[in-house]
Amino acid sequence: MRTSLRRLATALLVGGLAGGAFAQDVSEETVELFKTTCASCHTIGGGRLAGPDLKGATERQDAKWLAAFIVDPQKAISSGDPYAQQLLKEARGVVMPPVAGMTLARAMKLVELIEVESGKETSRFEGIKISDRPLTEADVDRGRRLFEGRDAFVEGGPACISCHQVEGTWGFGGGRLGPDLTDAFSRLEGRKALAAWLAAPPAATMQPVYKDAALDGDEILALVAYMKSTAEAGRPGPERGPLSFLIAGIAGVVGVLIAFDIIWRRRFRAVRRPLVKGLAR
């Protein structure tokens, strides 16, 4: 009863704002906004990513509250509101970042979209289906080839290496525009979250580049496998990497010095002996 009342209230409120009684079609603009700024952390009906699954959010909390939260998450959390505290706890302390340019009107439209999509059997924001199968060496290899641009992406997106490097691509000199991705797998908290991130990269630099050249599910799985392998291999410790280079370098220099010394000593002898002999005469 309470739920249906709340739903009705939401529909009226949202409908009122949208200018119609029960606005069921959400504008493309709102869909696009959700896809580019929210889908990397939220699914609707596809489970939790960094943020909670938003399916049924409007049944858990009223629309106005949610819209205010979307505009300023930190404010809602700092106010001590118990629902916000609960969300924060479930997100293990990760606070939803404020979204640039968010207004209450836009947030209301997003809440409306969440409501409409929640009512569907399968929302278009259920998230990409990434297989749960164990990752293999072949996946890692494919991922590396895609990353380095040795294999092309189906939709023609640019190779990751043009902007990123990971430990091990040093020889190729990866790009510096984006961060080093060696630890991205752990930074973005694993397979599902990284996959969702790659399906709709929220980064300002990557988004326009991959917007019309989305990576497909297999490509994402391969890249995830590759980044998992780089995260697990980690960075070589200082006692291997640079130091052994230094030791090899010093040994090399010493070897060359000894060799020169031997050569020059002979030469000197060869020059000096006749000279000394000549003087002595």
Under rule CB under 6 A, residue 169 binds ligand HEC: no
Tell me the C-alpha distance between 180 and 191, whole Å.
18
Q: How far is CA 52 from CA 14, 42, 73, 192, in A?
A: 22, 6, 14, 13
Q: Any residues with CB less than 8 A from the CB of 122 and at least 6 apart, and which?
A: 45
* Torsional sign, CA 222, 223, 225, 230: positive
Q: Any residues with CB less than 8 A from the CB of 157 and at least 6 apart, and which?
A: 209, 210, 213, 214, 215
Q: Any residues with CB less than 8 A from the CB of 263 and at least 6 apart, and which?
A: none
Per CB under 6 A, contacts with ligand HEC among 206-225 are: 206, 209, 215, 223
Nearest to 219 by CA among 161, 162, 145: 145
Under rule CB under 6 A, residue 57 binds ligand HEC: yes
Q: How far is CA 16 from CA 13, 28, 123, 176, in A?
A: 5, 19, 24, 48
Under rule CB under 6 A, residue 184 binds ligand HEC: yes
Q: Which stretch binds ligand HEC (CB under 6 A): 21-29, 49-57, 235-243, 270-278?
A: 49-57
Nearer to ligand HEC, 152 or 271 (CB): 152
Q: How far is the CB of 97 from ligand HEC (least distance, A)?
A: 5
According to CB under 6 A, which one of 110, 166, 195, 199 is a site residue for ligand HEC?
110
Q: Which stretch binds ligand HEC (CB under 6 A): 23-31, 51-59, 129-137, 238-246?
A: 51-59
Under rule CB under 6 A, residue 96 binds ligand HEC: yes
Q: How far is the CB of 222 from ligand HEC (least distance, A)?
A: 10
Q: How far is the CB of 250 from ligand HEC (least distance, A)?
A: 36
Which tokens hold the place of 163?
A: 């902007």
Buried b (16+ CB within 10 A) or exposed e, 118-129: beeeebebbbbe
Q: How far is the CB of 23 from ligand HEC (least distance, A)?
A: 17
Nearer to ligand HEC, 87 or 221 (CB): 87
Buried b (16+ CB within 10 A) or exposed e, 132-171: eeebeeebbebbbebbbeebebeeebebbbebbbbbbbee
Under rule CB under 6 A, residue 30 binds ligand HEC: no
Q: Binding-site residue total for ligand HEC (CB under 6 A)?
A: 47
Under rule CB under 6 A, residue 160 binds ligand HEC: yes
According to CB under 6 A, which one of 8, 12, 21, 94 is a site residue for ligand HEC?
94
Under rule CB under 6 A, residue 130 binds ligand HEC: no
Q: Which stretch binds ligand HEC (CB under 6 A): 118-126, 134-142, 162-170, 261-269?
A: 162-170
Under rule CB under 6 A, residue 196 binds ligand HEC: no
Which residues contribute to the site for ligand HEC (CB under 6 A)? 37-38, 40-42, 50-52, 54, 57, 60-61, 66, 69-70, 73, 87-88, 91, 94-97, 99, 110, 158, 160, 162-164, 177-179, 181, 184, 187-188, 197-198, 202-206, 209, 215, 223
